[in-house]
Structure 1
Amino acid sequence: MKVVVQVKLTPSPEVATALEATLRSCNDAANWLSLRAQDREEDRDRTRKALQSFAYAELKARGLSAQPALHVIRKVADAYSTRKANLKAGNYGRKDSKRYQRIADNPVRFRADAAQSYDDRCLSWQYDAGTVSIWTTAGRIRGVPFVGLPGAVKTLAEYRRGETDLVHRDGIWCLIATCEVPAADLNTEPDGFLGVDLGIANIATTSDEGEPFAGEKLNKYRRRQIRIRAELQARGTRSAKRKLKKRACREARHATHINHVISKRIVAAAERTGRGIGLEDLTGIRERVRFAKPQRVALHSWAFAQLAAFVKYKAARAGVPFVQVDPAYTSQMCSWCGHTEKANRPTQELFACRSCGVVAHADHNAARNIAVRAEHVWAAVNQPHAADTSGAPAASAAPQGSRS
């Protein structure tokens, strides 16, 4: 399985200047080549081979070495392939729309500090010394120190494969590499599933009894960030825009940290008890579901897809089965008797079955339903002869909430 590992470079001011000049030169060359690619009428004339045939010599003349020149050609060709796929898929609107025409008729642009790929000929690692040797337009620079978590450095040393990206973000230099980490042996006979309900009031709630993950404390943080963003947007000054950009990066890092913590705890709980993990599939939820304005703000302010991706890859590394299920009616179905009714959920947090009278936390009830559905999905795939895909919970399950 592929795992992305990031370490931080700590270059001296002179080395940082050389790295900045290198990114600028590479992206200037990419923009020059992008203009030439846009002028070519056929898509087949924008492939790597077609672009290399006329641009390689010019890129070398611009001060790029052989491998960096090839990386620039590939970056431009891949950008046009991605644009073609998005245009064809309708991601930029209909063909007669202004947005479609604007994107199709203008060349792809690259920022001056956009990331640049390095292969092993241009960048080498000295893991024991904690340094790298890297190509720049000013020549090869050796002994550039890097820092990272011990586990990340160990993963790099053992499993790094392919290229490494040099990234300059918010004044910080990073190297991002892909590692091919062997997955653990999958537990093919899990002892049930741990259901996970994702939500707005509570980011994640499991089918086990216990407190939900990242509840009121995180919501206070999010509300504060929303209020500060609104104040800065109302000002509209240059300094306010700079602060908005800085805060956006800080919020993204905070969300990533919280998602890592939550996913690690979920996977650890499932691994410890020999169970699999069932997660609701929220793909396209922003387009499918209609929310009130305050809920829309909360929904768009959290990376649920990132949390699901973290749970998935951590589960694979631990050998824990992972399935995603349809979340339809999980919040309205009683996980004890199976009765489904909208009135079963009178408030955001309360679930009260109108049939059997069980009272429970709404998210916990939904997580129990997700756990049952995950078992049926797993059985349908791995034990099709014995699978019951109805998705309905067993009516005889012992209730764990209070009855009214």
Structure 2
Amino acid sequence: MKIVVQVKLIPDAVQALAIGATLHMVNERANWVSEVAFAHGVPREYEPRKHTYAELKAAGLGAQAAQHTIKKVRDAYTTLKANLRAGNLSKPGSKRRRLAESKPVTFRPESAHPYDDRCLSWQYDAQTVSIWTTAGRLKDVAFVCSADALKTLREYRRGESDLMERGGVFYLIAVCEIPEAPVNEKPSEFIGVGLGIVNIATTSTGYRAAGRGLNRHRKRQLELRRKLQAKGTQSAKRRLKHRSRKEARYAANINHIISKKIVTTAERTGRGIALEDLMGIRDRVRLRKDQRAQLHSWSFHQLGSFLQYKAPRAGVPQVYVDPAYNSQRCSECGNIDRRNRVDQATFACRACGVTMHADDNASHNIDRLSSRRFRRRGNRSSRDGGQSHPFRTSRCKGRLA
């Protein structure tokens, strides 16, 4: 399986100027290649190369850098086409879709640029890299990372690495191929994981990750952004830039902690992990205006993706079940009634009278559905190498709380 490792470059003043100028230049040239490709109907990769390669070389890009610039542009159009086909950029004829289709793809000056082993070499013992720039080859550019990240780079780094700039700091994002552990083909049972907003994750083993702290943090960040945006001064804008991505980092850290705990429990007890398929839930659910920000900041997909790459590394199988009626179905008798869900936290079955926390009930339903599916169809994750998309089906009537 492939993962990425991020390292922070620590260049001196001269090296930083050269790296920054290189990154800005390749992205400027990528914008030009994009315009040429758009004018020619975005053909196959060979056609843009025929029209642009010589000029890229004349502009000062090396052979490999020119090839990577053209390929980066072509990959961007491939992604755009896939998003249009999947309906991710609204419906045909909409303003958003027309805007996406009517102009070339553009790249920011600090956008990531790929480097292969001809343009970038690593010296792990010295923790330095040698990197191509438009000012020549830079040697002994220092980088820093954790001890675990350095070990992963040393043992598993393969293929390209991306150079990017964020907030004036340069990073290298290296691709590593990690061997997967043998998947447990016959788990004793599954841990049902219910995802929500009030409780980020609730498992059938009794673990509940409350979202109170995260939601409070997000609310505070939202209020701070509103105040700074309303103020509109230069210092307020600097403060906004300084605080950018802070909420995303905080949420990602929490999701890493939750996913690691779930996978560790499953590995220790010989169980699998069962999740709901929530693809498209934001488009299907209708909420009041005051609830929309909370829904659209809900990072269930990120938590699912963390589980998806952590589980194969631990040899834990995964299955995904239809979320329809999990919040209304009694996990004891199977009765489905919307009145069973008394409120956000309370489930009381109208048929058998059992009462429990609503998220606990949903997690037990996911557990039972996944066990039946696994026995009937076998381990899907073990057959496809754990790479199947976790949120694939179209029925998305899952819970939001």
Please list, as runs of the form range in 1=range in 2, the aligned pairs for 1:60-99 lying within 5 A after superposition. 60-93=57-90, 96-99=93-96
Q: Which residue of structure 2 lines up, in the alignment, with residue 111 of structure 1?
A: 108
Q: Please identify, of 73-82 and 139-148, the stretch whose mean Cα deviation from structure 2 is larger.
A: 73-82
What secondary structure, in the 3-state scheme, does the structure 1 residue paired with 2:64 have? helix
- Equivalent of residue 286 in structure 1, options 251, 258, 282: 282
Give the Cα–Cα distance (whole angstroms) in 2 for the partners of residues 162 and 226 of structure 1. Answer: 40
TM-score (norm 1): 0.89
Give the Cα–Cα distance (whole angstroms) in 1 for the partners of residues 181 and 254 of structure 2. Answer: 25
What displacement does 1:181 show?
0.8
What secondary structure, in the 3-state scheme, does the structure 2 residue paired with 1:203 have? strand
Q: Does the 8 Å CA contact 1:330/1:369 hold for their aligned counterparts?
A: yes
TM-score (norm 2): 0.89
- Equivalent of residue 190 in structure 1, options 178, 187, 195: 187
Q: Which residue of structure 2 lines up, in the alignment, with residue 362 of structure 1?
A: 358
- Equivalent of residue 55 in structure 1, options 27, 48, 52: 52
Per the alignment, do residues 377 and 244 of structure 1 end up closer, same or farther by CA in structure 2, a change over 3 Å counting?
farther
What secondary structure, in the 3-state scheme, does the structure 2 residue paired with 1:111 have? coil
Q: Does the 8 Å CA contact 2:4/2:176 hold for their aligned counterparts?
A: yes
Give the Cα–Cα distance (whole angstroms) in 1 for the partners of residues 87 and 205 of structure 2. Answer: 42
Q: Which residue of structure 2 lines up, in the alignment, with residue 138 of structure 1?
A: 135
Q: Does the 8 Å CA contact 1:281/1:324 hold for their aligned counterparts?
A: yes
Q: Does the 8 Å CA contact 2:214/2:251 hold for their aligned counterparts?
A: no
Q: Does the 8 Å CA contact 2:318/2:379 hold for their aligned counterparts?
A: no
Give the Cα–Cα distance (whole angstroms) in 2 for the partners of residues 196 and 88 of structure 1. Answer: 31
Give the Cα–Cα distance (whole angstroms) in 2 for the partners of residues 96 and 293 of structure 1. Answer: 26
Q: Report whether the alignment pairs 1:23 with 2:23.
A: yes
Per the alignment, do residues 100 and 286 of structure 1 end up closer, same or farther by CA in structure 2, a change over 3 Å counting?
closer
Q: How many residues align?
A: 380
- Equivalent of residue 252 in structure 2, options 241, 253, 256: 256
What displacement does 1:316 show?
0.6
Higher RCO (CA-CA < 8 Å; seq separation 6+): 2
- Equivalent of residue 125 in structure 1, options 122, 126, 135: 122
What displacement does 1:286 show?
0.5
What displacement does 1:157 show?
1.3
Q: Please identify, of 267-276 and 331-340, the stretch whose mean Cα deviation from structure 2 is larger.
A: 331-340
Please list, as runs of the form range in 1=range in 2, the aligned pairs for 1:1-400 lying within 5 A after superposition. 1-40=1-40, 42-44=41-43, 47-93=44-90, 96-210=93-207, 212-237=208-233, 239-382=235-378
Per the alignment, do residues 86 and 267 of structure 1 end up closer, same or farther by CA in structure 2, a change over 3 Å counting?
closer
What secondary structure, in the 3-state scheme, does the structure 2 residue paired with 1:129 have? coil
What secondary structure, in the 3-state scheme, does the structure 1 residue paired with 2:158 have? strand
What displacement does 1:215 show?
3.1
Give the Cα–Cα distance (whole angstroms) in 1 for the partners of residues 291 and 94 of structure 2. Answer: 31
Give the Cα–Cα distance (whole angstroms) in 2 for the partners of residues 90 and 361 of structure 1. Answer: 37
Q: Please identify, of 234-243 and 308-317, the stretch whose mean Cα deviation from structure 2 is larger.
A: 234-243
Deviations 1:109-129 (A, max 9, x none): 111111110000000011111
Per the alignment, do residues 380 and 296 of structure 1 end up closer, same or farther by CA in structure 2, a change over 3 Å counting?
farther
Per the alignment, do residues 289 and 103 of structure 1 end up closer, same or farther by CA in structure 2, a change over 3 Å counting?
closer
Give the Cα–Cα distance (whole angstroms) in 2 for the partners of residues 309 and 217 of structure 1. Answer: 22
What displacement does 1:236 show?
4.6
Per the alignment, do residues 114 and 161 of structure 1 end up closer, same or farther by CA in structure 2, a change over 3 Å counting?
same
What displacement does 1:69 show?
0.7
Deviations 1:35-88 (A, max 9, x none): 222222x443xx221111231111111111110011111111222233334344
Give the Cα–Cα distance (whole angstroms) in 1 for the partners of residues 348 and 329 of structure 2. Answer: 10
Give the Cα–Cα distance (whole angstroms) in 2 for the partners of residues 229 and 17 of structure 1. Answer: 32
Deviations 1:108-161 (A, max 9, x none): 211111111000000001111111111111111111111112222111111111
What displacement does 1:102 show?
3.2
What secondary structure, in the 3-state scheme, does the structure 2 residue paired with 1:179 have? strand
In structure 2, runs of 5+ residues without a counterpart are 381-401
Per the alignment, do residues 110 and 203 of structure 1 end up closer, same or farther by CA in structure 2, a change over 3 Å counting?
same
Give the Cα–Cα distance (whole angstroms) in 1 for the partners of residues 81 and 213 of structure 2. Answer: 44
Give the Cα–Cα distance (whole angstroms) in 1 for the partners of residues 304 and 84 of structure 2. Answer: 28
Q: Does the 8 Å CA contact 1:333/1:339 hold for their aligned counterparts?
A: yes
Give the Cα–Cα distance (whole angstroms) in 2 for the partners of residues 171 and 236 of structure 1. Answer: 23
Per the alignment, do residues 246 and 375 of structure 1 end up closer, same or farther by CA in structure 2, a change over 3 Å counting?
farther
Deviations 1:158-184 (A, max 9, x none): 111110000111222111111111110
